[in-house]
Structure formats: structure tokens, C-alpha cells
Amino acid sequence: MKRIAIFASGSGSNAEAIWQSIERGVLEAECVLLVTDQPEAKVLERAERYGITSFSFIPKSYASKADFEEEILVLLTSLRVDYIVLAGYMRLIGEVLLSAYPSRILNIHPSLLPHFPGKDAIGQALAANVSVSGVTVHYVDAGMDTGPIIAQESVEIEECDRTEATSRIQAVEHRLYPRVLQQVLNQQEVFK
């Protein structure tokens, strides 16, 4: 069984969807670690409920990104982590982790990439007045939401306010991400 570490910065709804999928046997994986760059993030409470070991850190307390990634890598290695799963982690992954986990870091993004990369993708889509946005699962590279796309699903957001658009997109994220993770962990090809 593959061992995963989830990286998150916020409330952790995607992390919880993954943990629930593991509990239900829908996702055949073992989550052995939560990493967060926000020591007060709500995701820590969720991780505790699921019995997930957590590592939180304050990036500014390190001299460089490489320094905190080296510390994280030691932990990942000690726990024999096979894949890193980003679930609302609001930092670019640096060379230390990219080199250690080539094609084994995944991310979920609330838009149909390459449209609306970066922060506040839902707000960007609403401001652009598009009728459809969606969800993308992709491999992580050195860029911001530029890695190879694994899967996408469209979500209609026409005439939605921000709350409704967010709710619709998150519902798709919570269903799509565990399914795609299972396919990747099984080394199955996933089509867009």
C-alpha cells in the first residue's frame, strides 16, 4: 500500500475528503503525515480527529525554502512516504522536494488550468464572468499550477455568487481528487 503525506495550509476540506476515502476503502493508501506551513490552520484539528501525525512549521523561521524543505524531506524519508499530495498548500514546492519526488507530487486546483492559476482561482473566474470553471488535478513542477494535467472536470458557475461557486467546485474536488489519486497510485493512466 502506498504511503502519502498531505500538505495543506487552510481548513483541510480536501484533506478530510481523502482521509474519509481511505477510511471507506475507496482510496487504498495510508496517510502517514500532514505538513502545514500554518501552525493555526484548521486542518490540524481535522488531522487529529483522524489520528494523522502532523508537522507544522513557520517558513520565516528558516533561512531559506531549501532549509525547511530539507527538514521536511528528512521526515518524509523516515516515514517512507511514496507520494506528496497537496490539498490547499499555498506555497510553491522547491527544488529539494521536486528532486526527491519527481512525478510523485500531486495538486488539486479550483479551475480548468491553464485558466486562472494561482491564488483565488474562483474569484478570478467570477471576475472574468465565465460560465464554466472547474477542477484540475495535476503533477507539480517548479511553476505555479503549470505541471502536467492528470484530470479535469468542468463546473457550471454562471449566475453563481462566490459562496455557491465555491460550494459547487469543492463538491467536485472532494469526489475527483480521491478517485484520481487511486488511479495514480495504481499507476493507471488517467485521461483528461
- 109 is a catalytic site residue: yes
- Alpha carbon distances (Å) from 55 to 37, 86, 124, 135, 145: 9, 14, 31, 27, 24
What's the angle, vertex CA 20, arms to CA 17 and CA 32, rounded to 5?
95
Which residue in 173, 156, 5, 145 sits closest to 75, CA to CA?
Answer: 5
Angle between helices 162-185 and 13-24 (to 10 degrees): 40
Q: What are phi and psi of 158, to 5 degrees?
A: -60, 135
Residues noted as catalytic: 109
